[in-house]
């Protein structure tokens, strides 16, 4: 058996770049919706062995790029679906956009591969693996913020368990997401190192059994972990193709109403998704804007009917669009917009707002508009004006309902950038419109929200237009959810927050610290071995 494996390996080594590309795609099957984490870990392990055999820095970098391209292209295939919900550009561009994006994203695995070759090519397999874990952590962190950042998905996502278990992601409070990606490298590579050492081969089986147990064993529910803040979370099932259709606005509001009532007598925190309300609810816009989108052509009327739905003792958090007015040509008009969440009380008053900080390039704004617009490119979101970013993480004071951190849609994927550390919230509200994202995007999006819950020690409540909406406790356990393609509501009490985790206190200094520890300790071991 061993001889057959070795012969197959030698054959595959004749096409190392193609092999790396295939291994990258194979490792992406570990993510939702497939969740084939054993296959993913095998793919990563085989790639580490392949990278170890690289004869030069250029070869190592090319292998890293090929692996990253295969991995990230398959994982981000949902992006192509977004192009089918707009008419400004041909839909086939979506299938070009994904690989074009991943040509750039794959640079980061290439950098990690090049760095480990330069640092540890003469070290043992153990040293090589530990250094690679460190360089991968740094590369993922760089990917999360350079050129606005795009961290979807981190390698560590494959260590998240099913809905009833955090899996190995339970280590997040002491590691952070990018260091958890380093753990993937260690789990995949160290058994190879142990096997090659002969005398400690049994450790390979110990690692495998330990990983399986951690991933499959359901988490015990914590004692006295029920919350006290009542909520109603709504998923109205507003398909993306209907969202901007004015003839559907009243039907959409009726779905929100049906899934929110009754609520006139008891206080509740009502949660509606991003893009749930087409109305402009702020006062002071020219009348022509209200005529186009606002119920009764009057923002006060629109707010009052919302108040009648939620009840006088309740508060609503809902996604809205706010406009920024200006007079660039002498006429008052909208010059930009804000993707916002507003808090509306039972009297119909807006008393708090949050504006999305991490905007989606080409989705909510068009980079280099003066160059790209003349050649026919546009935003995927309807409208001719760009969205303006907010100031960053903020906590909204919700009176009797406590303190809410707000993260709109894909903001939740940015590890270390979701909470105002100076004013720590009691929970995070993550409204989203996942109708853009096909079948792969929503379960991955939910998985990212679970990572944030674990590493910050905060419950996350997700309200989406089409699914998957969910209540996630501070341990990453999905307490309840509404699947994709359904409408409905979730009732209950918001799970309690934990105390601030180590990650919550340090942010991404923590995973970077682990990265430099792994690299530094490996270099010390390498030097001692040579002396």
341-390 pLDDT per residue, tens: 999 999 999 999 999 998 877 666 655 455 444 444 554 555 567 888 88
The token pair that represents 253 in the structure block:
């509001």
Q: Are 367 and 400 in contact (CB under 8 A)?
A: no
371 φ, ψ to 5°? -95, -45
N- to C-terminal Cα separation, the chain: 38
Q: List the pLDDT tens digit at each of the 531 positions of the chain.
A: 566 666 766 666 678 899 999 999 999 999 999 999 999 999 999 999 999 999 999 999 999 999 999 999 999 998 887 666 554 556 666 678 788 889 999 999 999 999 999 999 888 899 999 999 999 999 999 999 998 889 999 999 999 999 989 999 999 999 999 999 999 999 999 888 777 776 667 777 777 788 888 888 776 655 457 888 999 999 999 888 788 788 888 899 999 999 998 766 789 999 999 988 999 999 999 999 999 889 999 999 999 999 999 998 999 999 999 999 898 887 888 888 899 999 999 999 999 999 999 887 766 665 545 544 444 455 455 556 788 888 999 999 999 999 999 999 989 999 999 999 999 999 999 999 988 788 899 999 999 999 999 999 999 999 999 989 999 999 999 999 999 999 999 999 999 999 999 999 999 999 999 999 999 998 888 887 776
DSSP class per residue in 107-156: HHHHHHHHHHHHHHTTS-HHHHHHHHHHHHHHHHHHHTTGGG---PSPGG
Count of C-beta atoms within a 10 Å radius of residue 243: 20
3-state SS, 465-526, equals CCCCEEEECCCCCEEEEECCCCCEEEEEECCCCCCCCHHHHHCCHHHHHHHHHHHHHHHHHH
Q: What is the edge-to-edge ordering of all strands in the sheet holding 315-326?
A: 350-355, 333-345, 315-326, 269-271, 230-235, 488-493
The answer to whether the CB of 296 falls within 8 A of the CB of 339 is no
CA dihedral for 19, 24, 25, 31, sign (positive or negative) = positive
Q: Which CATH superfamily is domain 230-495 in?
A: Carbon-nitrogen hydrolase (3.60.110.10)
Q: Determine the Cα–Cα distance for residues 281 and 298; give it in Å rounded to an integer.
A: 8
Hey, what are 424's tokens? 């720590």
- The span from the CA of 265 to the CA of 373, in Å, is 52
Give me the half-sphere count of Cα atoms (radius 13 Å) on the Cβ side of residue 224. 1
CB 326 within 8 A of CB 113: no
Task: Please check whether residue 46 is in contact with residue 21, taking contact to mean a CB–CB distance below 8 angstroms.
Answer: no
CB 181 within 8 A of CB 154: yes
pLDDT in tens, 247-267: 888 899 999 999 998 766 789
The burial class, CB within 10 Å (0-12 / 13-18 / 19+), for 10 is exposed
The pTM of the full predicted model, rounded to 2 decimals, is 0.92
Q: Which helix (H) or strand (E) holds 432?
A: strand 427-432
Measured in degrees and rounded to the nearest 5, phi and psi for residue 455 equal -75, -30
3: left (phi over 0), alpha (psi -120 to 50) or beta: alpha
Can you say whether the dihedral through the CA atoms of 52, 54, 55, 61 is positive or negative?
negative
Helix/strand number for the chain, H first, E second: 18, 12
| Prior bond of 262 cis (ω within 30°) | yes
**Can you give the residue ranges of every domain in the chain?**
2-220+508-530, 230-495
- β partners of residue 495: none
């Amino acid at each position: 058996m061993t001889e057959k494996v070795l012969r197959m390996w030698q054959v595959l080594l004749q096409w190392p770049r193609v092999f790396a590309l295939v291994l990258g795609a194979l490792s992406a099957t570990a993510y939702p919706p497939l969740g084939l984490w054993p296959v993913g870990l095998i793919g990563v392990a085989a790639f580490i062995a392949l990278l170890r055999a690289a004869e030069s820095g250029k070869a190592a970098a090319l292998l890293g790029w090929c692996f990253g391209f295969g991995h990230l292209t398959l994982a981000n295939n949902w992006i192509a679906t977004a192009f089918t919900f707009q008419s400004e550009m041909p839909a086939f561009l979506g299938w070009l956009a994904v690989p074009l994006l991943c040509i750039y994203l794959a640079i980061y695995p290439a950098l990690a591969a090049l760095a480990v070759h330069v640092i540890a090519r003469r070290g043992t397999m153990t040293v090589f693996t530990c250094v690679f874990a460190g360089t991968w952590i740094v590369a993922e962190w760089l990917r999360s913020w350079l050129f606005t950042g795009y961290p979807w998905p981190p390698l560590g996502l494959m260590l998240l368990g099913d809905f009833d278990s955090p899996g190995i992601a339970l280590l997040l409070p002491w590691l952070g997401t990018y260091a958890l990606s380093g753990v993937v490298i260690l789990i995949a590579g160290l058994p190879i190192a142990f096997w090659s050492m002969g005398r400690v081969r049994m450790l390979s089986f110990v690692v495998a059994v330990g990983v399986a147990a951690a991933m499959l064993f359901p988490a015990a529910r914590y004692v006295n972990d029920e919350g006290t803040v009542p909520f109603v979370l709504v998923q109205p099932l507003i398909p993306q193709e209907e969202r901007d259709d004015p003839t559907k606005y009243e039907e959409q509001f009726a779905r929100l109403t049906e899934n929110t009532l009754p609520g006139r007598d008891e206080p509740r925190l009502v949660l509606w998704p991003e893009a749930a309300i087409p109305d402009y609810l702020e006062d002071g816009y020219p009348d022509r804007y209200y005529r186009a989108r606002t119920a009764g052509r009057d923002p006060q009327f629109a707010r009052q009917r919302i108040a009648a739905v939620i009840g006088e003792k309740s508060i609503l958090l809902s996604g809205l669009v706010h406009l920024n007015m200006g007079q660039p040509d002498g006429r008052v008009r909208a010059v930009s917009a804000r993707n916002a969440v507003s808090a509306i009380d039972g009297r119909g008053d807006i008393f708090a707002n949050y504006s999305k900080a991490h905007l989606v390039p080409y989705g909510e704004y068009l980079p280099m508009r003066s160059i790209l617009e003349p050649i026919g490119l546009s935003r995927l979101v309807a409208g001719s004006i760009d969205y303006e970013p907010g100031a960053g993480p903020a906590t909204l004071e919700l009176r009797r309902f406590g303190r809410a951190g707000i993260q709109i849609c894909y903001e939740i994927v940015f590890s270390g950038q979701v909470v105002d550390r100076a004013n720590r919230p009691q929970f995070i509200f993550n409204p989203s419109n996942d109708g853009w994202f096909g079948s792969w995007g929503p379960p991955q999006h939910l998985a990212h929200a679970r990572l944030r819950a674990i590493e910050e020690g905060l419950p996350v409540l997700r309200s989406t237009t089409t699914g998957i909406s969910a209540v996630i406790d501070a341990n990453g356990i999905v307490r309840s959810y509404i699947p994709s393609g359904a409408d409905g509501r979730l009732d209950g009490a918001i799970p309690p927050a934990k105390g601030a985790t180590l990650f919550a206190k340090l942010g991404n200094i923590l995973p970077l610290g682990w990265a430099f520890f792994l690299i530094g300790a490996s270099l010390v071991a390498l030097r001692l071995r040579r002396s």
